[in-house]
Every structure is written in C-alpha cells, then in structure tokens.
C-alpha cells in the first residue's frame, strides 16, 4: 500500500508512489491516453503532447526535478482546506476505476513506438484506484515533498487556473 492518509476509503493504492528516477510524476488514464508522438520525437514535442493530454483529461504530468528521484508522493482524496497558490491543477477522467503512475521511461517508450502502450504491464505499474468520474488533480510541493490530491468535480472552475503555467507541464524544480 502506498502513501495514503487514513480515512481515504475510496482511494486505494497498489504499489509505492514516488517521483521517478528522471524527476517526473504522472497520473494516466490508460484507457484514453494516446502515447505515440513520433519515432524521432523531441523534448518540446513530448511536452506539448503531455499538455494536450492534460487538456483532454487523460494524463497529468509534472516535473519535480532530478533531485527528487525516489521522493514519496503523498496522495489523498479531497483537496486541503487551503489551496496552495503555486500548485498545478488539471482534470482527469477515470473510466475504469484506476489511474496508473507510469515512469518517464514508460511515457517516452509509448511516445516513440506506435505499438507500445504507456502501461505495458498493469500488474507491475503503480495504480491509484478511485471510483469512476471526472476528478480535479491538485499537485503542490512543500520542502522536499510532493503532494497530490484528487477531488471528484462537476463543471466548477479549477482550484488553480491552468493558465498560470507555461502551457506544457508544471515544473516544480528549483
């Protein structure tokens, strides 16, 4: 079981949630995320692809920084009472009751090879189980920790407007 606050009955984590070795954290709906970009993709292309997936509510990718490799990610259901000003938010659709936490390597393999899924081995990929629906994801960093909250939403505005960051992905690196 991952880092889940007690009392989060509707949230179940299979595996440990950590910032990956490249400094990225991602939540992906494997049923709706289209991973392929180009056999010879560039980093700007890949970042724009992640931004497009965010707009389609199929993936949420943030860069925490290479120094954050292995840092535990604290995931909770429900947003904190005080929403941080410097967080990043987006919507994500949960269609099968699960979001996956792929590594940057998984994301880049899917980006390069049209026949490669972002989640090749679901049983070996960290999973966050929540009831189906549309959720707002809010991510913020405090000190050395990355925090992520998921809250089921209707059509209300996002807690942190997405236009505050550069149109690609959120960068928390110092």
Check which CATH number belongs to the domain holding 33 and give it.
Answer: 2.60.34.30
Q: What is the pTM of this model?
A: 0.82
Domain span including residue 51: 12-171
Distance, in Å, from the CA atom of 143 to the CA atom of 122, rounded to the nearest integer, reads 31
From residue 81, give the alpha-carbon distance in Å to each of 10, 46, 149.
Answer: 19, 34, 11
pLDDT class for 9, splitting at 50, 70, 90?
A: low
146 within 8 A of 74, measured Cβ to Cβ = yes
Residue 4 lies in a domain: no
Distances (CA, A) of 161 to 49, 100, 113, 116: 19, 24, 33, 33
Residue 100 inside a domain? The answer is yes
What's the whole-number average pLDDT of the chain?
83
On whether residue 106 sits in a domain, the answer given is yes
Q: How many domains does the chain have?
A: 1
pLDDT digits (tens, 9 = 90+) for 42-62: 999 999 999 999 999 999 999
Give yes or no for a contact between 89 and 151, defined as CB atoms under 8 angstroms apart: no
Model confidence at 31, in pLDDT bands (50, 70, 90)? very high
Is there a domain that residue 2 lies in? Answer: no
User: Is 145 domain-assigned?
Assistant: yes
């Amino acid at each position: 079981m991952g880092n889940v606050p007690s009392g989060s009955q509707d949230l179940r984590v299979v595996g440990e949630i950590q910032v990956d070795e490249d400094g990225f954290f991602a939540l992906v709906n494997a049923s709706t995320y289209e991973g392929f970009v180009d056999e010879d993709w560039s980093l700007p292309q890949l970042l724009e692809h992640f931004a497009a997936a965010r707009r389609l509510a199929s993936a949420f990718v943030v860069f925490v920084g290479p120094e954050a490799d292995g840092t535990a990610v604290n995931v909770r259901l429900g947003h904190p009472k005080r929403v941080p000003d410097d967080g990043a938010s987006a919507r994500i659709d949960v269609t099968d009751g699960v979001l996956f936490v792929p590594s940057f390597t998984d994301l880049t393999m899917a980006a390069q090879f049209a026949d490669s899924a972002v989640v090749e081995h679901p049983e070996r990929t960290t999973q966050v189980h929540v009831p189906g629906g549309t959720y707002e994801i809010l991510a913020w960093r405090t000190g050395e920790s990355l925090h992520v909250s998921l809250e089921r939403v209707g059509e209300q505005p996002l807690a942190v407007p997405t236009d505050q960051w550069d149109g690609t992905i959120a960068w928390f690196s110092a």
